[in-house]
Amino acid sequence: PVPDAVVDWLRESAVPLRTLRTGHGFSDMKPLAKLVKGAEVVALGEATHGSQEFYQAKGRLLEYLVAEHGFSVLTFEANWPESEALEHYVLTGQGDPRTALKRLKYFMWETEEALEVVEWMRAWNAKHPRKVRLIGVDVYLTEGSAARVVQFLSQVDAELLASKRKLLSRLQSQPFEQEDLDVEATLTALGEITSRLDERRAAYVGASSERAWGEARHAADLLVWAYQARKDPTARERGMASSVDWALAQAGPNAKAVYWAHNAHIERVSALTKRTGNFLAERKGARYRAIGALFGGGSFRAGDWTGSRSHEERTFSIGPAPLGSIESAFTRAGWPLAVVDLRKPAGAAAQRDAVTAWLAHPQTMREIGGAFVSEEAMQDDVLLSKRFDGVYFVQTTREATVLKQ
């Protein structure tokens, strides 16, 4: 079992949150200032892609970071070109947010809870001169990025477009429709496009604008990262980290970003593949803060990989966290909803030593990406304070609500 000293530390050090709902002020969140002070990027994790309470907790943390700490851009696990219609809605109120969420083509954004976050952003932007931007940072889809490159080249370099049109047309399709494309040949051709964009930058900017060139260059980078990721998963993570930096640049001087993604993407240190959080931590040091997510049990939506061939999303439920796990310690501490700063355990010397020793050894926690195989497969042994600067804990989760038509 988890040492009593650890449970006592969690009971004393946790910042309990009184609600998951936005619009209730920040009196309960004031102690979180230390956790985020001085950060340029605060990453908010989730232990599943389909739990109602994770959207809500992150939505309230986003509200706090925007209102109290001046954060100005939400970056998230979706592609930038596909997210432009959603940002347009958030900034102007124009368009249909439900349609825009579906355009992202990620199941976790087709939820009523995601829509609530979008509507909060729209309401904030309608009332405040300091706008919050919304920029996707994933690289997986190529359709929108290829269309942006075609659009730009048609304006500035018809010759280059003619020589690459066949490839760029193929890239304007779904990933599964591109499986016969040779990865190396595609990367070589994309490299020729990025080289030409750089070599002829002045002429291209003269024929368009600095912004148009910058967006086309970023779209080309997204295509390169998407194809590099076919042979090296790290390329996706590196691409997302670079895209967070690109989003910060778009948001203007002194911009600060929230990075909304799964725990596995935001972690500062990874056991296997380097993750987005690793790259951001290397680039930003203490200016990067990762806040992971834990839950005691409950329901969530995920793809069915228990033997189903269709892998369709459905609801799964799991029981209480196993005895001795990280989550069981939070359950014993008695806070149904709380945030804990993991960086410097406080308390009397004996308690501090016990907590430090516990954090220094791998402990069991549960999380899942987009696919559910089994409850046992959700468990992993992790060094919690190496992965994250802080964590938020939700005792019981419910499945996210599929977006209504």
SS3 130: coil
Judge if 114 and 67 occupy the same domain: yes
Task: Give pLDDT tens digits for 257-285.
Answer: 999 999 999 999 988 899 999 999 999 99
Judge if 385 and 317 occupy the same domain: yes
Amino acid identity at 28: D
SS3 156: helix
Judge if 384 and 322 occupy the same domain: yes
Strands 288-295 and 41-44: parallel
Strands 288-295 and 15-16: unpaired
H helix runs in 70-157, sequence order: 80-92, 97-103, 112-127, 143-156
**Within-domain flag for 402:** no
**Within-domain flag for 12:** yes
Instruction: Place 348 in a pLDDT band, splitting at 50, 70 and 90.
Output: confident
Q: Which residue has the tokens 């080249």?
A: 153
Q: Which of 195, 228, 261 is the last residue of a domain?
A: 228
Whichever domain contains 53, its CATH number is: 3.40.1660.10
Prediction pTM value: 0.97
The DSSP line for 2-65 is --HHHHHHHHHH-EE-S-S-SSS-STTTGGGHHHHTT-SEEEE--S-SSBHHHHHHHHHHHHHH
The neighbour count for residue 234, using CB atoms within 10 Å, is 17
Return the H-helix or E-strand segment holding 366.
strand 363-366
User: Average pLDDT of 61-75?
Assistant: 99
**Within-domain flag for 242:** no
Q: Which two structure tokens, joined as six digits, stand for 4?
A: 């009593």
Judge if 198 and 126 occupy the same domain: no
Judge if 182 and 216 occupy the same domain: yes
Is pLDDT above 90 for 333? yes
Task: Give pLDDT tens digits for 112-153.
Answer: 999 999 999 999 999 999 999 999 999 999 999 999 999 999
**Within-domain flag for 109:** yes
Is pLDDT above 80 for 195? yes
CA distance 160 to 85: 28
SS3 369: coil
| C-beta of residue 256 within 8 angstroms of C-beta of residue 72 | yes
Q: Which of 198, 228, 258 is the last residue of a domain?
A: 228
**Within-domain flag for 303:** yes
Judge if 270 and 212 occupy the same domain: no
**Within-domain flag for 84:** yes
Considering only CA atoms, which of 244, 292, 280 is closest in space to residue 35?
A: 292
Q: Which of 228, 258, 289 is the last residue of a domain?
A: 228
**Within-domain flag for 149:** yes
Residue 350: predicted pLDDT: 85
* Domain assignment of residue 89, given as a range: 4-138+250-394
Task: Give pLDDT tens digits for 97-109.
Answer: 999 999 999 999 9
Count of structural domains, the chain: 2
Residue 68: predicted pLDDT: 98
User: How many degrees, rounded to 5, is the angle at CA 253 between CA 252 and CA 255?
Assistant: 75
**Within-domain flag for 105:** yes
Judge if 75 and 171 occupy the same domain: no
3-state helix, strand, coil in the chain (%, to 5): 50, 15, 30
Judge if 174 and 37 occupy the same domain: no
Residue 344: predicted pLDDT: 87
Judge if 296 and 312 occupy the same domain: yes
Judge if 264 and 221 occupy the same domain: no
Return the H-helix or E-strand segment holding 202.
helix 201-207
Residues in a beta bridge with 79: 138
Task: Give pLDDT tens digits for 151-164.
Answer: 999 999 999 999 99
Considering only CA atoms, which of 358, 315, 319, 313 is closest in space to residue 6?
A: 358
Judge if 389 and 273 occupy the same domain: yes
Judge if 317 and 340 occupy the same domain: yes
